[in-house]
Amino acid sequence: MRLVRDLGRRKLRSTLTITGIMIGIMALVVFGSMANKIDALVKGGSTYYKDKVTVSAKGGYMGVGGVLSTRMADQIAALDGVDVVVASTSMMLSDDASGVSMGVPPMIQGSVAGSDKGRETFKLDYASGRALTAQDEGSNVVVLGSDLSKQLKAKVGATVTLRDVSFQVVGILEPTLTAPDNEAMVPMAAAQQLFIKTLPTLVADKLSVNEIATGLIVYPKTGVDPQKIADAINAAVAGVTPMTGKDFDKQIGAATSVLNAILIGIGLISLLVGGLSVINTMAMSVAERTREIGIKRAIGASRWRIRREIVVESSVIGLIGGLLGLALGFLITTLGNDAGRDSATILFDLTFGTAFSSVAFATILGATAGFIPAWHASRLDPVAALRYE
Amino acid sequence: MATILEGRNLRKTYRLSRKNTVEALKGVEISIDKGEMVAIMGPSGSGKSTLMHILGLLHAPDPNHGPAPELRLAGENVAALSDNARTKIRARRMGFVFQDFNLVPTLTALENVLLACDYAGIRGKAAKDAAVEALGLVGLADRGGHKPSELSGGEQQRVAIARALVNKPEIILADEPTGNLDSDRSAEVLALFRQFNREHGQTIILVTHDSEVGEACDRVIKMRDGRIRDAGQRAGTPVMATQAVAVPLGAGHSGFDPDAASV
């Protein structure tokens, strides 16, 4: 209570200082959540690509882009060390989903259910409905990722339009925090039909629809190094780019860690400024309270007590600022995610760890900032402090 | 009567700037008996406040010129104790009353008194009871919830006295306790001191300019130029027993402090 009164003594100054911390923590929470989201995306990708080789057409990337042929799948399946090859057909849900959005744009992803022969270890959980089966080939059914289902406002049983074709929703996924959240999973044949329509007529005419694939997912036999398979594919098949989990980590991981460092850096800089303002506030408050400190010292407060009083006060400033910053950050990330829902752009992932460490950091920052003024206050000569006007 | 506080070779030089120093105490010997109510008087700059700060362990006497200083509190030499040890003694064994009342403005009267309990290591119900009792003793039982700004000067000083009393200290030191009060309030405050001294045998040392305060005390110690000029006579004590004074008595004080009471 005493402490609250001390803070209340200089309402404007305390408010400004708390606001400073609040903005810093808000920045840390928002940018931290953004970094979390990117991390989750990358980690999901890293896990997904780890145990396999993904083959794209030259110039394509991770199974998206140029056109391959399902015949290549048979060619690769025959290579030494290859266990299973799954052909897939992927495309962006809409052509105008430009590169503005962070993370992965909404995708249509087609493959024959079960063609991985149980090799895929990236497990998908279903919030409602069912998974696709091989029997779905030939029909227009779709399983929607968690974010995409919210964007399309679709439930199981509803009909959605994907690239001008109607699909019946049979399943909706639980959030994975990575690529599948933004995917529409359809049978291979349906994906091939959609994909050929995206091609120029001249190109399309030369292809047979049921042989189209944009990516081949190659599962090595147990104990076989994916890199060896990638090398073998390079040697045996022309016009393709095989890619291993290591390649993914190298390219994506490096880029995102720089991005994360920048994001966290911005948050930390704003906190540094907040921390300096706590030092300033507490130094002013100590100067104003010189006489009071003299009284307390004279009647028996130890130096340690005086230090504690000031450090506790500045920690509370940090704590309050931290909690308010967290609340504001929570509001911004929630509103941001809600606003992004329509474009399936989920930017933020505010984890408990981020929330807790932000508030803890603010409190420690407050305590640290209070230490210099506290030290100064504890060294005051009680007699001189008593005479201070 | 037992000696509660005894000082020897008390010197203090303040450095005002690199070249300018002031020798505030030039070797003071002083002895205060348990249960005495003593006034220390003298003109400005005579060193009486400095002496008070040393007796109250707010400052330590200079250790490094002349014979080693001694300050015995109930027999124990406290002259060279660490800041922490002196702070602990101030908290538990001494009470302070100042001219400007020096209450913490954000705390209520009761909280100001409780602060002294807290520093002495007394908390909870024991502290609350002691603080309420102390406020009752100074006649402010019903004013505990008021902030200093809501109290008159005389009331504020009585809160300060309650704060000084609350831990039942061995010594109360009061620096010009009536300096900011009109004569009626001064008389009240002085009567309070007198009452605690008589009824509880409370040792009280007052530093004052006010001859009426001096008259109300058992003994007046007169200072000039950083030395004690007249250690005074204890009421009811034979002249022979008074502390020996190094300086010739007589012409000393009266010219400088005409208002001071001659005992």
CA neighbor of A198 nearest in space, from A107, A132, A113, A115: A107
Structure tokens belonging to residue B212: 């009426």
Domain that holds residue B46: 3-241
Residue A10 shares a structural domain with residue A140: no
Q: CB neighbours of B120 closer than 8 A, spacing ≥ 6? A: A300, B91, B92, B167
Beta bridge partners, A240, equal: A57
A388 touching B (Cβ < 8 Å):
no
CATH code of the domain covering residue B131: 3.40.50.300
- Region B11-21: mean pLDDT is 87
**pLDDT confidence of residue B125:** 95
Q: CB neighbours of B46 closer than 8 A, spacing ≥ 6? A: B223, B224, B225, B226, B256
Please give the Cα distance from A166 to B232 (Å, whole number). Answer: 112
Confidence of residue B217 (pLDDT cuts 50, 70, 90): very high
Q: Is B260 domain-assigned?
A: no
Q: Which of B96, B103, B105 sits opposite A298 (nearest CB)?
A: B96
On the question of pLDDT at B32 being above 50, the answer is yes
CB contact under 8 A, B119 and A382: no
Q: Is A189 domain-assigned?
A: yes
Q: Which of A238, A272, A303 is the C-terminal boundary of a domain?
A: A238
Share of chain A above pLDDT 90, in %: 28
Please give the Cα distance from B25 to A13 (Å, whole number). Answer: 44
- Region A278-291: mean pLDDT is 84
Please give the Cα distance from A193 to A214 (Å, whole number). Answer: 13
Residue A191 shares a structural domain with residue A317: no
Structure tokens belonging to residue A158: 């509803």
Q: Is B8 domain-assigned?
A: yes
**pLDDT confidence of residue A2:** 65
Q: Is B250 domain-assigned?
A: no
Confidence of residue B259 (pLDDT cuts 50, 70, 90): very low
Residues 278-307 of A with CB under 8 A from B: 291-292, 294-303, 305
Please give the Cα distance from B32 to A75 (Å, whole number). Answer: 109
CA neighbor of A89 nearest in space, from A165, A168, A178, A183: A183
Residue A28 shares a structural domain with residue A95: no
Residue A301 shares a structural domain with residue A217: no
Beta strand ranges found along chain B (DSSP E):
3-15, 21-33, 37-41, 70-73, 76-77, 94-97, 171-175, 203-208, 219-224, 227-230
Q: Which of A300, A303, A381 sits opposite B91 (nearest CB)?
A: A300
On the question of pLDDT at B263 being above 90, the answer is no
Cβ atoms of B127 and B114 closer than 8 Å:
yes
Please give the Cα distance from B99 to B152 (Å, whole number). Answer: 14
Helix, strand, coil percentages in chain B from 3-state DSSP, rounded to 5 = 35, 25, 45
**pLDDT confidence of residue B142:** 93
H helices present in chain A, as ranges: 2-9, 11-50, 70-77, 146-152, 188-196, 201-205, 226-236, 245-248, 254-288, 290-298, 303-341, 352-378, 382-387
Domain that holds residue A125: 59-238
Please give the Cα distance from B163 to A328 (Å, whole number). Answer: 45
Mutate to test the interface with B, among A6, A14, A299 (most CBs of B within 10 A): A299
Identity of the amino acid at A306: I
Residue A323 shares a structural domain with residue A381: yes
Q: Is A47 domain-assigned?
A: no
Residue A159 shares a structural domain with residue A298: no
Q: Is A243 domain-assigned?
A: no
The CA-based angle B29-B30-B33, given to 5 degrees, is 155
The pTM (predicted TM-score) of the whole model is 0.71
Q: Is A51 domain-assigned?
A: no
Helix (H) or strand (E) holding B92: helix B83-93
**pLDDT confidence of residue B132:** 95
On the question of pLDDT at A343 being above 70, the answer is no
Instruction: Please name the residue of chain A whose CA is at the shortest distance from the CA of residue B86.
Output: A300
CB contact under 8 A, B83 and A305: no
Q: Residue A75: count other Cβ atoms within 10 Å of its Cβ.
A: 15
On the question of pLDDT at B242 being above 70, the answer is no
Give how many domains chain A has, as a whole number: 2
Residue A288 shares a structural domain with residue A183: no
Please state, in angstroms and as integers, the Cα–Cα distance from residue A50 to each residue in A53, A249, B64, following that order.
8, 9, 77
| ipTM reported for the complex, 2 dp | 0.85
Please state, in angstroms and as integers, the Cα–Cα distance from residue A388 to each residue in A152, A283, A384, following that order.
70, 16, 6
Residues of chain B contacting residue A387, judged by C-beta atoms under 8 Å apart: none
Structure-model confidence comparison of residues B257 and A370, the more confident one:
A370
Q: Each residue of A142-188: pLDDT tens digit?
A: 999 988 898 888 899 999 999 999 999 999 999 887 888 889 999 99
Q: Is B14 domain-assigned?
A: yes
B82 touching A (Cβ < 8 Å):
no
Cβ atoms of B234 and B218 closer than 8 Å:
yes
Q: Which of A186, A214, A238 is the C-terminal boundary of a domain?
A: A238
Q: Is B127 domain-assigned?
A: yes
Q: Which of A238, A267, A288 is the C-terminal boundary of a domain?
A: A238
On the question of pLDDT at B243 being above 70, the answer is no
Greatest CA span in chain A, whole angstroms? 97
Give how many domains chain B has, as a whole number: 1
Cβ atoms of A23 and A210 closer than 8 Å:
no
On the question of pLDDT at B118 being above 50, the answer is yes
Cβ atoms of B196 and B35 closer than 8 Å:
no
Q: What is the average pLDDT value for chain B, to the nearest integer? A: 86
Share of chain A above pLDDT 70, in %: 92
Q: Which of B59, B106, B115 sits opposite A299 (nearest CB)?
A: B115
Q: Is B184 domain-assigned?
A: yes
